[in-house]
Amino acid sequence: MLAFRKWFLALAVVALTVAVASAQQAPAFQCVANAGVPPIVRAEGIAELVGDLVLNCNNGAPAGSLAGQGAIPQVNVQIFLNTNITSRIDGSDNSEALLMIDEPTAAEQQVCMAPGPCLVAPLPAYPGGVYKPYNVGESTVRPYNVFQGRRASANSVVWFGVPIDAPGTTVTRIIRITNVRANANQLGVSSTLVPTQIVAFISATGTTSVPINNPQQTVAWIQQGMTFSVREQDGDSGAETKAQCSSNYGDLFTDPTKTDYGCFTGRLRFQEGFASSFKARFDVTNLSAGTNPALIGNNQNNPGSIYNASESGFWTASTASTTGWPSVSGYPAGQANQGTRLRVVFNNVPAGVRIYVSIRNIAASGAKVGWARLVNVAADGSGSYAETPNSGSATTCSAWSGAALEKIAEMPIFGGSGNATWEVMYDANSVPGDSGQAALSIQRYEFGYIAAYKANTSNNLPGLGTATANGMFAPVSTVTTASTVAPVPRFADTSSALNLFTINACVTNLLFPFVTNQVGFDTGLVISNTSKDPWGHSTQAGTCEINYYGDTNGAVPPPAQTSGVIPAGDYAAWTLSGGGKFGLTATPGFQGYIIARCKFRFAHGFAYISDAGAQKLAHGYLALIMDVPMNRDDVGTSENLGQ
């Protein structure tokens, strides 16, 4: 019994020793992936910045700790998206996508250029006994803590040989992946109530095991980024309708430098699909008033900061304290080529029409809006920022405020087509130097346009037809994978043509409600071309189509006939029984009514019914004008007997 008790005590001591040893063993190194709150990206976008992917890592035994256990293990970190990754690359497939460790401040950032690896040797102790292998603030030793990725495939980026040391049990190691751009257009807009997601997958393999919980993360949601519409001058939806015989901004057509041209023909409206869909090139938060954020921007190099109001991502300028910031195809990694650009393409513009657009977006009086500027760039909307000169200043238009907002520039039209591009400088929620920001809201940018022409109907100018406009983001591109030359951001053209304005032929429709050449009666008719007047308006000449409705002595009516060209200031006169001027032939025995469609404006008609020789009975009347009232400058509203 005594022996048993001795053995029992010995076993208890062994068990206690094992338990203590087990309790002292460090927990395994492990990381948890998260993407925070994923941003909304534009469905039209080919190179959209997705949200950062972050690993929070804990536990494990630091390999390069104060005990000097050896070099920090190297790991290959790779991400995959469910769409193409379109971050800018250089000719060696080095990417602007970056991996950072332990949120280095701007003063601490030290870049390991691709392809890597960049070793981090064991480091000495620092004041306070804190082991800081990536953020050395108390020593001249500068470890690498920013790592440049390389394109691995169309949808993947890899960081080779990243030294990832286990943090131990007292701190958390943070690994952040940023500047990843994605082709949102490749996935499109969801047809369900749940938005389309851009999903990232992450793996870490190498000389040590890096287990990752939740390696699949949603890094962006896709929504339509913009809607485009054509508005009339007063803001109502729809296209303007013009007449060929009435000049439209005729003085401006003759003299493009004219400054007193009044309001615009209509408006081109671009509206955000979601807040912050329209962005400046750089974050404007700390820019001084009057700064042009298309050209000047402060560093955006604070890890974890959100730069959703900027087309640029995480970037910094190389300085004495930040060595070797990577330049990718001529741009600092993370920097965009331009701010959001809004582009309109004009098509089917009739011959003899000049198109002008406003230099800046126009706004209702007192409205707080952002600022977009017309730029002189390539036809697809790409190219460096260059302001387009204006033709002059307009007189104040009651629809919009400030003559400065009404400067215009002519858009060249070739073969009926042309285009204009504006770049967003800032929106109403982020104005440089403005402390009184507007509430975050959906922004609308409207640009005025003018269709100017001088009536010249003798030469059939302007041409007849309907001009169209397509509104879209710019630059437009078909490059859907990572590129060394394609701009970021860039967009697919998903637009549809909308009617912009229509130029119709000038016509007058006349109704002669009763005419007869039966039972001893005859009718005489006159149509006068009154487009010639003492006010010097553009004259017109045209034919008249005579349409007969009724019967010819109980039989079918005669077919329609067309007169010769009736000059301005002349008239066509004829009788049903004998015909008359300009080739109009007789239609004996007809009784009913006539509709005359004349290819000139301001036709007037008169009919006279009588018995033979007008011996017993006669009656005359004016033809009814079947058109809506027509404004004639200083003459006012024209006669309209149909009302």
**pLDDT at site 206:** 83
Q: How far is CA 363 from the centre of its chain?
A: 18
The three-state (H, E, C) secondary structure of 72-99, written as one string: CCEEEEEEEECCCECCCECCCCEEEEEE
The three-state (H, E, C) secondary structure of 268-301, written as one string: EEEEECCCCCCCECCCCCCCCCCCCCCCCCCCEC
**Domain 28-223, CATH:** 2.60.40
Dist. CA 97–CA 146, nearest whole Å: 10
Rounded mean pLDDT, 515-529: 96
Cβ proximity of 269 and 458 under 8 Å:
no
Cβ proximity of 248 and 451 under 8 Å:
yes
**Summary mean pLDDT of the chain:** 84
Q: Give tens-digit pLDDT for 444-494.
A: 899 999 999 998 887 889 999 999 999 999 999 999 999 999 999 999 999
Nearest to 247, CA basis, from 533, 631, 538? 538
Q: Give tens-digit pLDDT for 181-211.
A: 999 999 999 999 999 999 999 999 887 778 9
**Could you report how far apart the first and last alpha carbons of the chain are, in Å?**
127
More confident of the two residues 260 and 40: 40
- Beta sheet of 561-562, edge-to-edge order: 561-562, 544-552, 590-598, 508-516, 624-625
Distances (CA, A) of 356 to 154, 236, 346: 42, 20, 11
Dist. CA 320–CA 324, nearest whole Å: 9
More confident of the two residues 394 and 357: 357
- Within a 13 Å sphere around the CA of 93, how many CA atoms are in the beta-carbon half? 14
**Domain 508-635, CATH:** 2.60.290
Number of residues in the chain: 643
Burial annotation 168-207 (CB, 10 A radius, 16+ → b, else e): beeeebbbbbbbbbbbbbbbebeeeeebbbbbbbbebebe
Q: Give tens-digit pLDDT for 95-112.
A: 999 999 999 888 888 888
**pLDDT at site 295:** 83
Dist. CA 318–CA 327, nearest whole Å: 9
**pLDDT at site 394:** 57
Task: Name the pLDDT band for 633 (thresholds 50, 70, 90).
Answer: very low
Nearest to 426, CA basis, from 438, 414, 411? 438
348: left (phi over 0), alpha (psi -120 to 50) or beta: left
18: left (phi over 0), alpha (psi -120 to 50) or beta: alpha
Helix H or strand E encompassing 344: strand 341-347
**Hey, CA dihedral for 343, 293, 39, 111, is it positive or negative?**
positive
Q: How far is CA 261 from the centre of its chain?
A: 28
Question: Cα Rg for the chain, rounded, in angstroms?
Answer: 38
Assess whether pLDDT exceeds 90 at residue 81: yes
Nearest to 341, CA basis, from 280, 298, 271, 411? 280
Hey, what are 151's tokens? 């394109």
Nearest to 249, CA basis, from 240, 239, 258? 258
Nearest to 593, CA basis, from 538, 550, 546? 550
